Structure 1
Amino acid sequence: MCEVATIRHISKCTIKPHHTSEESQQPCYLTPWDLSLLTTDYYQKGLLFKKPQHLSVENIIDQLKDSLSCTLTQFFPLCGRLVTKKNADPHSYCVFVDCENGLGAELVYVFAADQKISDILSPIDVPPIVESLFPLDRAINHDGHNLPLLAVQVTELVDGIFIGCSFNHAVADGGSFWRFMSAWTEISRKTEENIEHIPRCPVTKRWFLNSQDQIINLPYSHHDEFIVRYVPTPLRERMFHFSSQSIAQIKEKANADVSTNKISSFQALAAFVWRSVTRARCFAANQKTTCWITVDNRLRLDPPLSKDYFGNCISAIYSTTTAGEILSNSLGWSALILNKEIAAYTSEKACATIEALTKVPYIYQYGVLNDSGSVSFGSSPRFDVYGNDFGWGAPIAVRSGYGNKYDGMMEMFPGREGGGSVDLEVCLIPESMAALEMDGEFMTAVSSASA
């Protein structure tokens, strides 16, 4: 457990929608993509702000409560709870969100008496105190039967405010989370009467490949048959900053290596990190290594879904090679592998994946899915992280909680200065992280101006 001695809980309350609608009283049936995440951790992301001088913390808490209530009017699935409905004859096992009896989201206010912004940002490794800035510690998504699907912790620091969110990943993905944050901060900034109006309302109706498949029957009789609470080995976690100039150089080299212009900045950086981590792990030449990349299917589908589709609409695609191949070949060779795999993941493949999951539902388990040879990339440098101003200024940093971390997990966020810069959150076992820190090629590409 992380160090929590300085954290003092002040208050906790339930936040319900400002008002309800007919749609918000209907069950929200989960898609195969949603259900596949039942045993992974809650999605935990938080924003760090400088403490505003013109507002008291009490004013801030009241403002957050009111604006969250208005936001939940549109994002009403977050107010429900998961429900399992099952029958023995004939067999059925269905998990869905009960919105009608929505019990609300949770908002907690805590005070970290002697913690400053510098205590979070200055250490080389992400410090243990960061885990204490998020609610619902160690919760998995299936716990949403009894826990809120959204919990927010507002932590008052000596000179800052940290807003940490634990968001049930079986209900929606990272893109949905950041759209929710964008709506919440926009409503928080409003002062006029039409406070609940937002220009991009979420599309809460779930997408199913076939309309008759809206109730997915899981092949289980009891949740003990599929629930596994994954506990990772001890990890070190660091934030590495890549400037836009550094990423441009990495992209240019990757494309030049294989005489193409098809490799994107993301693909080049992912390949660069994949090679660097493989080198740091000191694998034998024949050791297999896999790079997992999360892709958004919204615009990939034909016809495409709205960018504002609220739910899980992501797939994990992967490329596998050996340590010997990835290290004996050029950066461009590795990047081109990723480029081809991403390009090949068409609407037809996405639909085939969801069709297979509809016929034979699958629930991911980290202990089975990941191994010591994997590198996985989550989040996205395209998420609007630093546009989330509640009315007291833009955030100065983004951090993640305990959830969904394991050896080789990487998350990309936009750099605070914008312009295509990236902050990379890296989780590795201590000996691999130490080797990565001694890797001249990797550290030369890293800027010291990390958030």
Structure 2
Amino acid sequence: MTTTPPVVPSSTPLIQIPVLLSAPSENSTIQDIIERVESTAESNADLSHLSGNETRQAIESFPYIPELPTSDTKASVIALQITLFPNKGFSISIVCHHGILDGKSATTFIKAWAYICKHLENDQQPSLPSELTPFLDRGVIKDAHGLEMIFLNQWLALTRSDIKSDSRSLKLVSNMAVSPDVVRATFQLTREDIEILRETISSQLEKVHKEELKPTKQLDYMSTFVLTCAYTVVCMVKARGGDSNRKIYFIFSADCRGRLDPPIPQNYIGNCISSQHIVIKAGVSMEECGVAMIAERISGMIKGLEKGLFEGAKERLLELASIEPGAEIIGVTGSTRFEDYSWDFGWGRPNKVEFTGNARGGVISLARSREGNGGVEIGLALKRHEMENLVSFFVNDLKNFAQISK
């Protein structure tokens, strides 16, 4: 099974979908299952090619992604498509409206759906465990800092030129076309690779602090997320080349459920994330200790959340709103905490999980390794020549770090 999660959104309410989509009985076939879902397709494409890690055109995934119905007055939440590859397998594509659901909510839905499918017996509806039972009370979110109007004004500014009919329209902002020259690939960092990065960054930081006559100290956060993002950002910027003085905006989201006061349930379904960002000069990535310097910035941003989730929130929102069109932005989607490869609809784990929403480039997708060895899968989409450069940097820089750490 190959799944293709979050890109964009459906016409069936969130809570009803697990009821409508059920796993087969012992005598059921794939065809029986497909007749029960909202959108189905069949393809003779090479499934092993589509589910591999090798470089391929980003647009090759598009036929397996459903459309999300939206209008001025209605916005769907989730769209689903199952595509059968005869005698090979099938893909499940799930498109979520990120104005309504964040990544954790979408993942909770998928886990709940998979749980129900796997535990169906004698056509009886199994009960969801508490951690997968949706919590929908919006009243637990308190806007004590007056951020709602800033968000709404930003959204209106973003959509005003794109949506002609109504400033309150629920239509999605139109997506930019993806060039056939854009390719995607999946990279792996093993647990050993991550330890090499940890040792390298520690060594580089010590060198930088000595040169700057600062007391040497380790990062407050040396997590897999920090190490992976710092290394990938450096590889991406080097692969693109260009003006070393240009600004790079690195943006990521922090889950706010456990950081609110009081905290809200982890199974809250909705949007409960906070955008965090750092601004760096491209030239920093090209320096000898570039990975360490970017890791230090990301770690510092995460450390700042300890002061309070809303500390400087208005200023951050206004700064993000002021980013000029065409600015170079690198974002992050997915998380190693989502445990994507644990999804089991009754046929075993998926062979590949792919986040196709990064096809326009500039987005790093993260997932915990399917092998369960503490590693990370990194999905990227870039122009072909940039991807060729990145492959070289990603592989060779890690080899060099490994040699130095011996």
Q: Verify same fold: TM over 0.5.
A: yes
Question: Do the aligned partners of residues 305 and 214 (structure 1) sit closer, same or farther apart at CA in structure 2, a change above 3 Å counting?
Answer: same
Q: 2:186 aligns with which of 239, 248, 263?
A: 239
| Residue in structure 1 matched with residue 42 of structure 2 by the alignment | 111
- Larger fraction in helix: 2
State how far apart, in whole Å, the 2-side matches of 1:56 and 1:151 are: 23
After TM superposition, the score normalised by the length of structure 1 is 0.67
After TM superposition, the score normalised by the length of structure 2 is 0.74
Q: 2:248 aligns with which of 289, 293, 296?
A: 289
Q: 1:345 aligns with which of 286, 305, 311?
A: 305
CA distances 1:104-163 after superposition (whole Å, capped 9, x unpaired): xx7212111x224213134522553311111016x7xx6584453211101111211101
| Residue in structure 1 matched with residue 292 of structure 2 by the alignment | 332
Amino acid at match of 2:49: D
Q: Give the Å deviation of 1:204.
A: 0.7
Q: Give the Å deviation of 1:347.
A: 6.2
Partners of 2:14 and 2:78 within 8 A in 1 = no
Q: Give the Å deviation of 1:375.
A: 1.8
Structure-to-structure mapping, 1:59-208, within 5 angstroms: 59-61=32-34, 65=36, 107-112=38-43, 114-122=44-52, 123-125=54-56, 128-136=59-67, 143=71, 145-146=73-74, 148-158=76-86, 159-192=88-121, 193=124, 195-200=126-131, 201-206=133-138, 207-208=140-141
Q: Give the Å deviation of 1:228.
A: 4.4
State how far apart, in whole Å, the 2-side matches of 1:302 and 1:395 are: 37
Q: Give the Å deviation of 1:14.
A: 6.3
Gaps of 5+ in 1: 1-11, 20-50, 66-105, 447-451
Amino acid at match of 1:319: I
Question: Do the aligned partners of residues 218 and 407 (structure 1) sit closer, same or farther apart at CA in structure 2, a change above 3 Å counting?
Answer: closer
Equivalenced residues, count: 352
Partners of 1:120 and 1:127 within 8 A in 2 = no
| Residue in structure 2 matched with residue 30 of structure 1 by the alignment | none
Q: Give the Å deviation of 1:178.
A: 0.6
Q: RMSD in angstroms over aligned alpha carbons?
A: 3.8
- Larger fraction in strand: 1
Partners of 2:256 and 2:309 within 8 A in 1 = no
State how far apart, in whole Å, the 2-side matches of 1:203 and 1:323 are: 42
| % identical aligned pairs | 21
Amino acid at match of 1:431: H
Question: Do the aligned partners of residues 302 and 126 (structure 1) sit closer, same or farther apart at CA in structure 2, a change above 3 Å counting?
Answer: farther
Partners of 1:173 and 1:314 within 8 A in 2 = yes
Name which of structure 1's ranges 410-419 and 243-252 shifts more when overlaid on structure 2: 243-252
Q: Give the Å deviation of 1:304.
A: 1.8
Question: Do the aligned partners of residues 394 and 338 (structure 1) sit closer, same or farther apart at CA in structure 2, a change above 3 Å counting?
Answer: same
Question: Do the aligned partners of residues 387 and 177 (structure 1) sit closer, same or farther apart at CA in structure 2, a change above 3 Å counting?
Answer: same
| Residue in structure 1 matched with residue 269 of structure 2 by the alignment | 310
| Residue in structure 2 matched with residue 428 of structure 1 by the alignment | 382
State how far apart, in whole Å, the 2-side matches of 1:248 and 1:189 are: 36
State how far apart, in whole Å, the 2-side matches of 1:279 and 1:363 are: 24
State how far apart, in whole Å, the 2-side matches of 1:306 and 1:369 are: 37
Partners of 1:15 and 1:107 within 8 A in 2 = no
State how far apart, in whole Å, the 1-side matches of 2:396 and 2:312 are: 40
State how far apart, in whole Å, the 2-side matches of 1:292 and 1:390 are: 33
Partners of 1:172 and 1:310 within 8 A in 2 = yes
Question: Do the aligned partners of residues 145 and 164 (structure 1) sit closer, same or farther apart at CA in structure 2, a change above 3 Å counting?
Answer: farther
Q: SS state of the match for residue 148, structure 1?
A: coil
Structure-to-structure mapping, 1:354-433, within 5 angstroms: 371=326, 373-401=328-356, 403=357, 405-433=359-387
Q: Give the Å deviation of 1:420.
A: 1.8
